[in-house]
Structure 1
Amino acid sequence: MERDNCIRVAMVEDDPLFRDAVRNMLDRQPGMMLHAVAISRAEGVAMLQGAAADVLLADIGLPDGSGLDVLKEAVTRWPSCAVLISTTFGDESYVMDAIALGAAGYLLKDASEMQRVEAIRTSYEGGSPISPMIARQVLSRFRHHLPVPAARTAPALSEREREVLRHVSQGFTEAEIAARLEVSTHTIHTYVRRIYQKLSVSSRIEAVTLARRQGWLDG
């Protein structure tokens, strides 16, 4: 794939081992390239003055401040860039702050290489990837703190779409769902995007929260 057609990935990460792991991962992906690297909050903010990346991987715990500051700047300076938080911090407060500030997704560093690649592609395509453990935390918060909305008519989801949505609600990634249903990851991604459209939502958290509260996952 030509460089112009690659997904350009920028990174703000102070851990040299993790930086090298991501660099090597991107080198092995023909459709991706490393666009820019920063190792601190200050460098991350300065990096945003240059040409925009398609996806920005940002750590929260940086030596001179919070990666959330970089996220805030990125939303303004690189509006077309999807910011994917990649960190060891799984605390609910960090997750909610990142989502509120405009993060496209939230991935824990213990994710597999396949999950990282999938998360980058999904965020680039407009999705909202999130680690299963984090998804469960956020869904729990939604279930306990949001008021119950008025009942809505169940959307016309196919049986296959309902099956995919049930797997999504259990925290499985698209790759894991594909393996369970014995289809390609691309097929599952297509189902997920179709589900989003039918439910008028833009993320798995919104889709599952709505479906659970309306009882569409029962049975």
Structure 2
Amino acid sequence: MMMAQPAVRKPINVVIVEDDNVTRKVFSAAIESEPALRLVGAFDSVRPALEWLKSTPVDLLLTDLGLPDGSGIEVIRACVGHWPRCGIMVITMSSDDASVLACIEAGAAGYVLKEAGRVDIVRALMELHSGGSPISPVIARKVLSQLRDAIPTFAEEDGRVLLTPRETTVLDLIARGDSYGGVARMLSVSVGTVQTHAKNIYAKLAVHSRGEAVFEAQRRGLLRMTALKARP
């Protein structure tokens, strides 16, 4: 009687997009040392990665953001378009809010910072392939902060304008005369993030300028008195 042969698992195909030659070689060697993984492509820029993704299936994508000819976000979007089941992980030096959110919105499920020390890339890729989301603690905190800020401030009466906690803070700082750049520095976010909050505030107050926003906020009692004090 013939014994059943154990099922042979297909290797997990991995592609790397990383412009730093040393980093790319280190990651490539780590991946090739793991029997469950198979390195099928390693690129140093956006264009060849995009061409490769058009015709070659991939299970896991590991990409940097700052590439010589563009952003890794382009690679993420292309990968999602061609291979929607591919697990995508960003490994980069950038931890600003805009980059993190843009990558997640584009389709990344993992986000690891290079500066966090020695990265166990094999463990992170295996976790990603098994349905997890490998993410650096500082990035996790940023994501949770964004989620918390998205929760609206509860109103006591129906009909009141509902602002998120972060929108309330931005409104206070704008009311006391801070520039978008100043608000961004104070809150440790990008100017683009502040501009997005301001646009949301304007839309909720049905106004079109900073002056109108401050006037309408005062009329509705949305400003905190401390925010109207002169800056030190």
Output the TM-score relative to the length of structure 1: 0.62
Question: Could you tell me how far 1:33 is from its partner in structure 2?
Answer: 1.8
CA distance in 1, matches of 2:130, 2:114: 21
The alignment yields a C-alpha RMSD, in angstroms, of: 2.1
The amino acid of 1:34's aligned partner reads L
The separation in 2 between residues aligned to 1:88 and 1:141, in whole angstroms, is 20
1:20 Cα shift? Answer: 0.6
Q: Report the equivalent of 1:178.
A: none
- 1:132 corresponds, among 127, 137, 153, to 137
Q: Unaligned stretches of 5+ in structure 2?
A: 1-6, 155-232
Structure 2 partner of 1:97: 102
CA-CA distance at 1:23 after TM superposition: 1.0
CA contact under 8 A between 1:25 and 1:113: conserved in structure 2?
A: no
| 1:53 aligns to 2:58 (yes or no) | yes
2:28 to 23, 44, 51: 23
Instruction: Tell me by how many angstroms 1:52 deviates.
Output: 1.2
- For the 8 Å contact 1:41–1:62, the answer to whether it is kept is yes
Which of structure 1's runs of 4+ aligned residues deviate more than 6 A? none
CA distance in 2, matches of 1:114, 1:8: 20
Matched-pair identity in %: 38
Unaligned residue ranges in structure 1 (runs of 5+): 150-219
Report the equivalent of 1:84. Answer: 89
Q: Equivalent residue for 1:117?
A: 122
| Matching residue within 10, 15, 22 for 1:10 | 15
1:4 Cα offset (Å): 5.8
CA distance in 1, matches of 2:131, 2:153: 28
Does residue 38 of structure 1 match 2:38? no
Larger Rg: 2
Q: Which amino acid aligns with 2:77?
A: K
1: CA distance between counterparts of 2:116 and 2:150? 28
Q: Do the aligned residues in 2 keep the contact of 1:38 with 1:47 (CA within 8 Å)?
A: no
Q: How many residues matched?
A: 148
The TM-score with structure 2 as length reference comes to 0.59
